[in-house]
Amino acid sequence: MMNTKDENYKALNFIEAIIEDDLQEEKNEKRVHTRFPPEPNGYLHIGHAKSICLNFGLAKKYNGMCNLRFDDTNPTKEEEEFVDSIVEDVKWLGFDWEGRLFYASDYFDQLYKWAEKLIINGKAFVDDQSAEVIGDQRGTVTTPGTESPFYNRSVEENLNLFRRMKAGEFPDGSKVLRAKIDTTSPNMLLRDPVLYRILHASHHNTGDKWCIYPMYDFAHGQSDYIEGITHSICTLEFEVHRPLYDWFLDNLIETKYRPQQIEFARLNLSYTIMSKRKLMELVEGGFVNGWDDPRLPTISGLRRRGYTPESIRYFADKIGVARRDNMIDVALLEHSVKDDLNKKTLRVMAVLNPLRVVITNYPEGKVEEMELVNNPEDETMGSRKVPFTREIFIEKDDFMEDPPKKFFRLAPGAEVRLKGAYFIKCEEVVKDETTGEVIEVKCTYDPETKSGGPQSNRKVKGTLHWVSAQHGLKAEVRLYDRLFLDEDPLGHPDKDFQEFINPGSLKTVTGLIEPSLRNVKPFEKFQFIRLGYFCVDPDSKEDKLVFNRTVPLRDSWAKISGKGR
C-alpha cells in the first residue's frame, strides 16, 4: 500500500522516469515546466498538498519551473476568498512560483480566437439545442451518439452565431459551441463536446467582459501551451480527457513544442473526505467551525491543528506517486507530524484533568524553582525554571485508590517521582462526601530525592507530570478525534457520509499549564509531557490561553479526555 523505499536509495517514480526519457530525447528543448492548477472553489486540502509537492518538487529536481494557475473558467462557483487562501497555503507549504501566478481567465481572448479558428476550419459548430437534448443525443457507453441537427451549419452561419453569442444576444443555455470530433467515438468525451456556453455572470477576474465561458477541457491544455508547460500532471480521472487535450493541441497549434498530460492516482486517506464540494457541505452545514477547523484535512485546518509544512512535505514524499488508486492510512500523516514535532518542540508540563495534591510536610508559602530540560533529544534547546509548591495538580488518571497490579503511578502508600522535582508518597485520600469521588490526595515528600540530589536515583515505579496550583495558568484545551467513525465515509452508496460524523470529534477541557507559557503566540507548538503535541490556537489571548491538540503521544490516549474512541 505504502510506497516506502530505502531512505538512501529511491528509485525514480514513473513520472520522473517519463521526464528523464524526455530529457534524453531533448524533447521541448530539455525544459521541465510544471504547474499547479487549482479551481478557486474551496480551500486546498491534503490531496492538493500532494499535487503541490509533486509539481513544485519535480520542477526543483530538474532545474525547471512551476507555475501557480487558477483554473477559473466557471464564474459562478469561484470566489476571491478562495484565491487568497490558496495563495497563502501554497506559500506556507514552502513553495515559490517566482512571480508566475496566472489565471486561465487571463487567456479568454486567446481561447476565443482559437474557438473561431476551429469554426473556420470546419471543426466546430453552434448548436441551438438544450443541454438535456444534447446529453441524450450523446448516447451511452454502449450505444453510439447521434449527430446534432445543427451539425452541418455553414462556417459563415457558425461564425456569425458565435460572435452574437459573445455579444450577448442570446440568453443563458440557448446555444453552445461544440467541437466536431466523432459522434460515435467509444470515448464519450469525444462525442462533439461543448466548448463554450452562454453564462451572463460576472467573473472575479474579468468582471462583465464575457457572457460566454469556455469549458474546462477547452481551457486547460491550451493554458498549459500558452504558459510553456511541458509536463501537465493531473489525477487519474482526467485520463479519459487526454485524447481531447491532445485533439485541441493537434487542431490549434503548429509548433514542435507540446505539453504532455500525465495522470497519477489521487491521494485517498482513511477516515477522511477530500472533495471540496463535500468539505463545503460540512462548513456550510455547521458540522465544523469553518474551513480552518482543525478536524478538516484542509491545509488551513492542518496548520491550525499544529501541522508543520515540513511534516506535510515529508508525508507527501513518503506516500510516493502511484498509477492506481489506493488508500493511505491516516496514521501515517499523524506519524509524520509527530516525528517532526518530536525534534522541534519544547517539553512542558500541563495537566488536563486536574487532581489536587497537597504535600503536607512541604513548607507553606515556599516556592522552589526547579530546572527542567527543554528537549532531551536536543541539548541546544536548553532548560527552564518551573515553580514547585506545596499544592500541585497531577492528572486524575495518574492516581488510583485501588490500583491493579501493574499500575505504576500514584496510589495509597505508593511512591512516585514528580518530574524534575521530588518523590512523593500518598498518605491519605480526601473524598467528596456526597459523590465519593476522590478530590484531593495528601502526600509527603522526601527532601533527599530532589532532582539531581543524593537520593534522586533511587528506584521508583513511575514519573508524573505536575503543575503548581498557585502558578499554573488556566487554558482551554481542544482535544480532537477523527471527524468520521468510518474508514471510508464516501464508500457507502446507500448512506450519506454525514451519518458517519463522530459526535465526539471535539472535546474541550480546562487544563492547567506551567507558567513559562504565559506569553505564547498563536501557532507555537509544544509537547505536553506524557500527553501529546499541542499548538496555540489563533483564538488564544494572554488572559485566555487556547491550545489545540495536534496528536496524542500514544494512540490509545483517549482516557484522559473522558470516553474517547
**What is the distance between the alpha carbons of residues 214 and 226, in angstroms, rounded to a whole number?**
15
In the region spanning residues 275 to 294, those forming contacts with ligand ATP, defined by CB under 6 A, are: 275-276
Q: Sign of dihedral through CA atoms 307, 309, 311, 315?
A: positive
Question: What mask, x for binding Mg ion by CB under 5 A, covers residues 317 to 336?
Answer: --------------------
Smallest gap from residue 279 Cβ to ligand ATP (A): 7
Q: Which of 84, 43, 53 is nearest to 313 (CA)?
A: 53
Q: Is residue 187 a contact partner of residue 38, using CB atoms and an 8 Å limit?
A: no
Q: Which stretch binds ligand ATP (CB under 6 A): 137-145, 253-261, 269-277, 384-392?
A: 269-277
Q: Which of 150, 156, 154 is nearest to 178 (CA)?
A: 150
Q: Is residue 228 a contact partner of residue 283, using CB atoms and an 8 Å limit?
A: no
* Binding partner of 145, given ligand ATP, Mg ion, none, CB within 5-8 angstroms per partner class: none
301 binds ligand ATP (CB under 6 A): no
* Nearest residue relative to ligand ATP (C-beta): 47
3-state secondary structure of 549: strand
**What is the distance between the alpha carbons of residues 108 and 72, in angstroms, rounded to a whole number?**
10
**Active-site pick, 166, 175, 276, 478:** 276
In the residue annotation, 276 being an active-site residue is answered as: yes
Q: Which residues are registered as beta bridge partners of 526?
A: 346, 534
Give Rg (Cα) of the chain: 31
**What is the distance between the alpha carbons of residues 233 and 55, in angstroms, rounded to a whole number?**
7
* Binding partner of 320, given Mg ion, ligand ATP, none, CB within 5-8 angstroms per partner class: none
In the residue annotation, 39 being an active-site residue is answered as: yes
Size of the site for ligand ATP (CB under 6 A): 15
What is the 3 state secondary structure string of 420-439? CCCEEEEEEEEECCCCCCEE
Smallest gap from residue 39 Cβ to Mg ion (A): 5
3-state secondary structure of 165: helix
Smallest gap from residue 277 Cβ to ligand ATP (A): 6
Question: Phi and psi at residue 370, in whole multiples of 5°?
Answer: -90, 140
Provide CB contacts within 8 A for 6, sequence distance 6+: none
Smallest gap from residue 491 Cβ to ligand ATP (A): 15
Question: Phi and psi at residue 170, in whole multiples of 5°?
Answer: -120, 150
**Active-site pick, 16, 30, 31, 39:** 39
- Of 35 and 478, the one with the shorter C-beta distance to Mg ion is 35
Smallest gap from residue 160 Cβ to Mg ion (A): 34
* Binding partner of 267, given ligand ATP, Mg ion, none, CB within 5-8 angstroms per partner class: ligand ATP
How many whole angstroms from its chain centre is CA 350?
Answer: 28
Strand ranges of the sheet holding 415-418, from the earlier edge strand across to the other edge: 463-464, 415-418, 423-431, 438-446, 354-359, 391-395, 467-468
241 binds ligand ATP (CB under 6 A): no
* Binding partner of 275, given ligand ATP, Mg ion, none, CB within 5-8 angstroms per partner class: ligand ATP
User: Which of 30, 266, 323, 356 is in the footprint of ligand ATP by CB under 6 A?
Assistant: 266
- The one-character DSSP state at 345 is P
In the residue annotation, 163 being an active-site residue is answered as: no
What does the buried/exposed string (b/e) look like for 125-142 if buried means 16 or more CB atoms within 10 Å of the residue's CB? bbbebeeeebeebbbeee
* Nearest residue relative to Mg ion (C-beta): 39
229 binds ligand ATP (CB under 6 A): no
Question: What mask, x for binding ligand ATP by CB under 6 A, covers residues 39 to 58?
Answer: x-------xx-xx-------
In the region spanning residues 22 to 41, those forming contacts with Mg ion, defined by CB under 5 A, are: 39
Q: Which of 138, 121, 198 is nearest to 165 (CA)?
A: 198
User: Which of 19, 274, 411, 501 is in the footprint of ligand ATP by CB under 6 A?
Assistant: 274
* Binding partner of 258, given Mg ion, ligand ATP, none, CB within 5-8 angstroms per partner class: none
- Of 245 and 445, the one with the shorter C-beta distance to ligand ATP is 245
Question: What mask, x for binding ligand ATP by CB under 6 A, covers residues 1 to 40?
Answer: ------------------------------------xxx-
Smallest gap from residue 489 Cβ to ligand ATP (A): 14
Smallest gap from residue 89 Cβ to ligand ATP (A): 12
Q: Are strands 545-552 and 473-480 parallel, antiparallel or unpaired?
A: parallel
Q: Which stretch binds ligand ATP (CB under 6 A): 91-99, 113-121, 145-153, 270-278?
A: 270-278
Provide CB contacts within 8 A for 356, sequence distance 6+: 391, 392, 393, 439, 440, 441, 469
Smallest gap from residue 274 Cβ to ligand ATP (A): 5
* Farthest CA pair distance, the chain: 102
* Binding partner of 153, given Mg ion, ligand ATP, none, CB within 5-8 angstroms per partner class: none
79 binds ligand ATP (CB under 6 A): no
Q: Which of 345, 272, 281 is nearest to 315 (CA)?
A: 272
* Binding partner of 35, given ligand ATP, Mg ion, none, CB within 5-8 angstroms per partner class: none
* Binding partner of 450, given ligand ATP, Mg ion, none, CB within 5-8 angstroms per partner class: none
The residues annotated as belonging to the active site are 39, 266, 276
Q: Which residues bind Mg ion (CB under 5 A)?
A: 39
Q: Where do contacts with ligand ATP occur on this chain (CB under 6 A)?
A: 37-39, 47-48, 50-51, 71, 234-235, 266-267, 274-276
